[in-house]
């Protein structure tokens, strides 16, 4: 469904991605892990065509994202849902207006049909009682759930989740994770989640990939990941301060 082939990307002096290749099968729940600033979110933005890679190819189904014109890209994006780390709900619109926005703008559905779909999606994420609230009146977990409802409202084939449980308490984080699992299973949606939260990653993933220094250094099923011999993966999973990740960094020097 999604394929990245030898993707390179840099921001000013910093090389963020240095030859990333990745394949995602339909109905898979891929979790991409990596340190903060390692380029995980950049991969999601490249799949959406919001950023353009320096080189390499990105495919969503048969479409090569980098080669699409603006109009075609907008059509392709309608098959992809995105949930942002900080939810990115439109602050001037109420919850139901936020969820209804893609339907109003991109479909010919009538008002009553839109209302029905919005109610369904809000019920799915347990937010039907908050539909008249503004995003400012919601907690972080509630916003994430509304963002998830908005991401699913067009019945996408692929959903991209950027740090879905970041900043949430463990209980609400688990609720959001469970919600992602049940939604993707029930709706047969493929998902790509980026996170550096281990518990959340192992709960969601059917397959995992580790991004380190601009490359995918390990890829496989969750169980295989736990037994990885790769010292970077092992250190990342254990959260240890001893290992190659901190070598030569100011944090390692400070520790000495």
Partner 1 sequence: MPNADARRTVPGALEVVEIERTFLREVGSVFWFIMNTFQETMERVQQGRAPFRAASFFRESVRAGVDSVPLVGLVCFFLGLTMALLTGYQLQRFGTERLIPGLVAIAFTRELGPLITGIMVAARIGAAFTAELGTMQVNEEVEAVEAMGIGPLRLLAAPRMLALFLLTPCLSTVSNLAAVFASSLVCKAYFSIAFPYFLDLVKDSLLIRDILTGILKSFIFGLLIASIACYRGLTVKGGAAGVGTNTTSSVVTAITTVIGCDTVYNVVYTNFYPT
Candidates 28-36, 97-105, 226-234, 248-256 — which segment interacts with partner 1 by CB under 8 A? 97-105
Q: Does 155 participate in binding partner 1 (rule CB under 8 A)?
A: no
The token duo for 25 is: 């099968």
Q: Does 114 participate in binding partner 1 (rule CB under 8 A)?
A: no
Nearer to partner 1, 91 or 186 (CB): 91
Q: Does 22 participate in binding partner 1 (rule CB under 8 A)?
A: no
Q: Which of 4, 48, 152, 201 binds partner 1 (CB under 8 A)?
A: 48
Candidates 2-10, 57-65, 74-82, 231-239 — which segment interacts with partner 1 by CB under 8 A? 74-82
Q: Which DSSP letter does residue 114 get? A: H
Candidates 76-84, 119-127, 173-181, 183-191 — which segment interacts with partner 1 by CB under 8 A? 76-84
Nearer to partner 1, 89 or 176 (CB): 89
Least separation, in Å, of the C-beta of 85 and partner 1? 8
Q: How many residues bind partner 1 (CB under 8 A)?
A: 24
Residue 161: phi, psi to the nearest 5? -125, 120
Q: Which of 68, 101, 133, 217 binds partner 1 (CB under 8 A)?
A: 101
> Which of 6-10's residues contact partners 24+ apart within 8 Å by CB, and which partners?
6/55, 6/56, 6/57, 7/43, 7/46, 7/53, 7/55, 7/56, 7/57, 7/58, 8/53, 8/54, 8/55, 8/56, 9/39, 9/42, 9/46, 9/51, 9/53, 9/54, 10/54
As a whole number of angstroms, the distance between CA 106 and CA 153 comes to: 11
Helical segments of the chain, H only? 40-48, 70-77, 95-106, 111-124, 140-152, 170-187, 198-204, 222-226, 231-238, 250-255
As a whole number of angstroms, the distance between CA 145 and CA 46 comes to: 24
List the one residue out of 247, 253, 226 whose CA is nearest residue 33. Answer: 226
As a whole number of angstroms, the distance between CA 149 and CA 89 comes to: 11
Q: Does 2 participate in binding partner 1 (rule CB under 8 A)?
A: no
Candidates 87-95, 121-129, 167-175, 193-201 — which segment interacts with partner 1 by CB under 8 A? 87-95
Candidates 12-20, 53-61, 99-107, 216-224 — which segment interacts with partner 1 by CB under 8 A? 99-107
Nearer to partner 1, 160 or 245 (CB): 160
For the segment 49-68, give every residue that binds partner 1 (CB under 8 A).
Answer: 50
Nearer to partner 1, 75 or 241 (CB): 75
Q: Does 104 participate in binding partner 1 (rule CB under 8 A)?
A: yes
CA 172 to chain centre: 18
Residue with tokens 């907690």: 139
Which residues here bind partner 1, judged by CB under 8 A? 48, 50, 71, 73-78, 80, 82, 84, 86, 88-91, 101-102, 104-106, 150, 154
């Amino acid at each position: 469904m999604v394929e990245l082939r030898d993707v390179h990307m840099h921001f000013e002096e910093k090389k963020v991605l240095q030859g990333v290749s990745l394949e995602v099968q339909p109905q898979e729940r891929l979790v991409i892990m990596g340190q903060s600033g390692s380029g995980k979110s950049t991969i999601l933005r490249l799949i959406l065509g919001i950023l353009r890679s320096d080189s390499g190819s990105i495919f969503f189904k048969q479409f090569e994202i980098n080669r699409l014109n603006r109009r075609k890209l907008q059509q392709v994006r309608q098959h992809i849902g995105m949930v942002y780390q900080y939810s990115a709900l439109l602050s001037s619109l109420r919850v139901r207006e936020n969820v209804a926005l893609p339907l109003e703008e991109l479909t010919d559905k009538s008002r009553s049909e839109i209302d029905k779909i919005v109610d369904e999606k809000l019920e799915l994420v347990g937010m039907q009682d908050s539909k008249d609230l503004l995003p400012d009146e919601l907690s972080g977990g509630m916003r994430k759930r509304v963002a998830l409802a908005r991401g699913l409202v067009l019945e996408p084939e692929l959903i991209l989740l950027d740090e879905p449980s970041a900043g949430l308490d463990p209980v609400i984080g688990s609720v959001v994770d469970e919600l992602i699992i049940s939604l993707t299973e029930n709706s047969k949606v493929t998902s790509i989640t980026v996170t550096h939260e281990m518990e959340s990653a192992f709960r969601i993933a059917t397959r995992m990939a580790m991004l380190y220094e601009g490359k995918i250094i390990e890829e496989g099923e969750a169980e295989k990941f736990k037994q990885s011999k790769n010292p970077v993966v092992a250190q990342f999973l254990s959260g240890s301060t001893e290992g190659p990740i901190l070598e030569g960094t100011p944090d390692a020097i400070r520790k000495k």
